[in-house]
Structure 1
Amino acid sequence: MAQPKTRWDIFCTVVDNYGDIGVTWRLARQLAAEHALVVRLWVDDLRAFERICPELDIHLDAQWQQGVEVRHWPTEWPETDAADVVIAAFACQLPSAYMDAMAEREKPPLWMNLDYLSAEDWVVGCHGLPSVKYKSVQKIFFFPGFQAGTGGLLRESGLLDRRRRFQQDPESQRQFLQALGVVPAPGAQLISLFAYENAGLASWLDVLAADSTPTHLLVPEGRILGDVARWLGVESLAVGDFNVRQALTVQVLPFVRQDQYDQLLWCCDFNAVRGEDSFVRAQWAGRPMLWHIYQQDEDIHLDKLDAFLALYGKGLSTEAAEAMNGLWRAWSAGQPIGQHWLEARKYWPELQENAEAWCLEQALQADLATALVQFYRNWI
């Protein structure tokens, strides 16, 4: 007789527009598709979710999307059974009635806090440790990460093979970009820009505009558009807007679904990304990148940034590492980065090789979804 499928509940409160839901939506789909699990994804903000899953009906409390039961997380919690595995994404607080339902189960569920991604050394020591306890139910810390002893990174089966085939197929890239209305000039470098507001942007755009190499800058809808508009001297920017300043072409793209964003990253020579979800996807693209880390009180995010740079740049020469580190640190501090960009360009082949080598190194670890499933199997 077949064993019943394990039921998983993932809870997501949308704090930073798309990062939280981006991670949990990828995870939920992978658990259902690759591990044959019954997955419910509880989300408090369906409007933000709709941006990355346009098929979503924001007026429904319950619906199925891509093999996942999507539930609206309401103010008034409905009576519902607790799942076998409960994931509180990014330390979100579960409804008290659901916590009671967990405690009432004959066998308590595995309750995990899926924490934020970090390269800091202490993560390895804390991964898998017990956290708080509610009645008979023990919460466990589960940390994604870049090193052995962590939960790894989200990576769907076959992702790097799909990326490699796409990057080796100029016609597929041309068709993808053309569908977005992007037709780069011959010889232009393609750069994607997805970032928070940043006072350091203007100096970078100045340098790109004055460069001898043409640049086509692709800017998906997002918080950086206001800074781009100010540099261009226009009141605002909208999807489809197209502006040329000397060697720099700026084009505003629509907010696209996750698989299309992956392909956008794969097309570009350089990707500026933000937060957590796009940060990980840029690493799988195997191209030089720039991370705008989410700002935290007392600048503790800069410790997180330095910890990642120490790992990511360990294969670089001293000079290339210093150039890259200077660029990343200035960007996350909101400082002018034009000169840092010019310095980093001196080591472009080395930065390209490092990006691909890092990608392949990270792919040697178990992916996050597989690590979660294995953790549950060990737990039972």
Structure 2
Amino acid sequence: MLDITILCRVVDNYGDIGFVYRLARELSSLSSIEKTQIRLIVSDLKSFNAMALPPGISTSLAVQNYNGWKVIDWNACAEGKCEFTEHPPKIILECFQCGRPEWLDEILFSAQTTQTVQIVNVEYLTAEDWADDFHLLKSGTRSALVKKINFMPGFTKKTGGLVLDKNFVSCVHSKTAALECLKKYASKKTVALIEDTNLFRVIAFSYERNFENEARALSEFAKNSGRKVQVLLAPGLGNAPFKKAAAAFKNISVYDLEYLPQLAWDALLTLADFSFIRGEDSFSRACLSGIPFVWHAYPQEEEFQLVKADAVLKRMEPFFSAGNMSLVKNVWLSYNRKPSVKMCDEACKVYNECTDAGYIPLLRILENYGGIKKSFGMFAQSLFANGNLAQKLLAFLQNSVQ
């Protein structure tokens, strides 16, 4: 039996726990033949509950069972220490450099510990070149019994790739399956809007920023195409400023999405016509969806998120014409730039390639939607060809405990 403990210290609301929830589901699914025990240590049970399928996660229980897993509150020192003292961990997936609870470290590095433990640092998703070299690179700990290795999600065959979980793959390949999934968990209003193919359906899930250029581009597109734009606005910090910008244009309708379980959110992403996306997990799903999107990278000091965004653009570039790539690059970089914030040298170099930070590049993308979508689709196919991160990780774990 594989004994796997997954650690998640939530930083970005849903991106961190979204990835962990997806990974746990896929590991459970793949290892159904060889029984696997999974324990999750999560710092924010409220965020977990927001995306979990019924019956959901209790925010008040220190230890609980859910979906065949044992879920432990990161902050419940006494209960956590009791659980892992009685049943010491054998494999630990440390997601996104989250570290470990102090009570778990006390167990791992106790003088009385005699069992070998394999820690796998599952890193943030990045398109930067260093991901290829960092994948499966060993790392030291303060005990010979505690082994550590780095596992990189990524965009090349030299990395672990992306999680290709069954529900999401089904939604990508079948609009019927996606719609049926959405109908199970979403409101009738949400389903009705997504079913109306006369609408140009846009998902907006972003960090806080000024959306005037985006709203204007959508409005001009609606006016020129005669197609009504329907924005499905996800809860979050970007909600209010997007509404404010859209309110200036009568031909843009905005609908507040309810909180959706992860499976329904996945379905929605594959059924929309365009998305503004943020977060680790939603970003990876957007990449795989084949649907045109703009990614809002997590804001970093001195605008280093521009370097992160540019690295993804370089992975996408082979699938786009030069003209269309220029449009996408302008939109992505201007979307990720926060005015008046000092840029580091790397960010300056990247942003200097942005020739137009206005609304026109996005409008041109919308006007050339067919060709742009085809390129996003080819990019997605290349990521599927890299294989399933969960499958690769499971194979590594099975070999590491032999």
TM-score by length of 2: 0.84
C-alpha displacement at 1:232, in angstroms? 5.2
- Alignment of 1:344 with 2:365, yes or no, is yes
- Alignment of 1:108 with 2:119, yes or no, is no
Indicate the SS of the match to 1:59.
coil
Report the equivalent of 2:349. Answer: none
- Mapping 1:1-380, distance limit 5 Å: 5-36=1-32, 37-53=36-52, 55-77=56-78, 78-79=81-82, 80=84, 81-103=87-109, 105-136=113-144, 137-157=146-166, 159-166=168-175, 179-181=188-190, 183-184=192-193, 187-199=198-210, 201-210=211-220, 211-212=222-223, 213-231=227-245, 245-334=249-338, 337-380=358-401
Structure 1 window deviating more from structure 2 (148-157 vs 88-97): it is: 88-97
Identity of aligned residues (%): 26
Cα distance in 2 between the residues matched to 1:246 and 1:222? 23
Structure 1 window deviating more from structure 2 (256-265 vs 181-190): it is: 181-190
TM-score by length of 1: 0.88
Gaps of 5+ in 1: 234-243
**Measured at CA, do residues 332 and 169 of structure 1 come closer, stay the same or move farther in structure 2, by a change above 3 Å?**
closer
Q: Deviations over 1:290-346 (max 9, x none)?
A: 100001112222111111101112111100100111111111114765222112234
For 2:212, the aligned partner's letter is: A
Name whichever structure is richer in helix by fraction.
Answer: 2
C-alpha displacement at 1:75, in angstroms? 4.9
Gaps of 5+ in 2: 340-356
Cα distance in 2 between the residues matched to 1:19 and 1:39? 20
C-alpha displacement at 1:219, in angstroms? 0.3
Q: Is the 8 A contact 1:207 1:338 kept in 2?
A: yes
C-alpha displacement at 1:168, in angstroms? 8.2
Q: How many residues are aligned here?
A: 365
**Measured at CA, do residues 342 and 209 of structure 1 come closer, stay the same or move farther in structure 2, by a change above 3 Å?**
closer
Q: Is the 8 A contact 1:208 1:248 kept in 2?
A: yes
Indicate the SS of the match to 2:57.
coil
Q: Deviations over 1:194-241 (max 9, x none)?
A: 000112x112112323432310000011111120233356xxxxxxxx
C-alpha displacement at 1:173, in angstroms? 7.3
Cα distance in 1 between the residues matched to 2:337 and 2:92? 37
**Measured at CA, do residues 186 and 316 of structure 1 come closer, stay the same or move farther in structure 2, by a change above 3 Å?**
closer
Structure 1 window deviating more from structure 2 (287-296 vs 350-359): it is: 350-359
Cα distance in 1 between the residues matched to 2:264 and 2:197? 23
Report the equivalent of 2:350. Answer: none
C-alpha displacement at 1:174, in angstroms? 8.4
RMSD in angstroms over aligned alpha carbons?
2.4
Indicate the SS of the match to 1:134.
coil
Which of structure 1's runs of 4+ aligned residues deviate more than 6 A? 168-178
**Measured at CA, do residues 301 and 170 of structure 1 come closer, stay the same or move farther in structure 2, by a change above 3 Å?**
closer
**Measured at CA, do residues 26 and 186 of structure 1 come closer, stay the same or move farther in structure 2, by a change above 3 Å?**
closer
For 1:42, the aligned partner's letter is: I
**Measured at CA, do residues 207 and 116 of structure 1 come closer, stay the same or move farther in structure 2, by a change above 3 Å?**
same
Cα distance in 2 between the residues matched to 1:327 and 1:202? 13
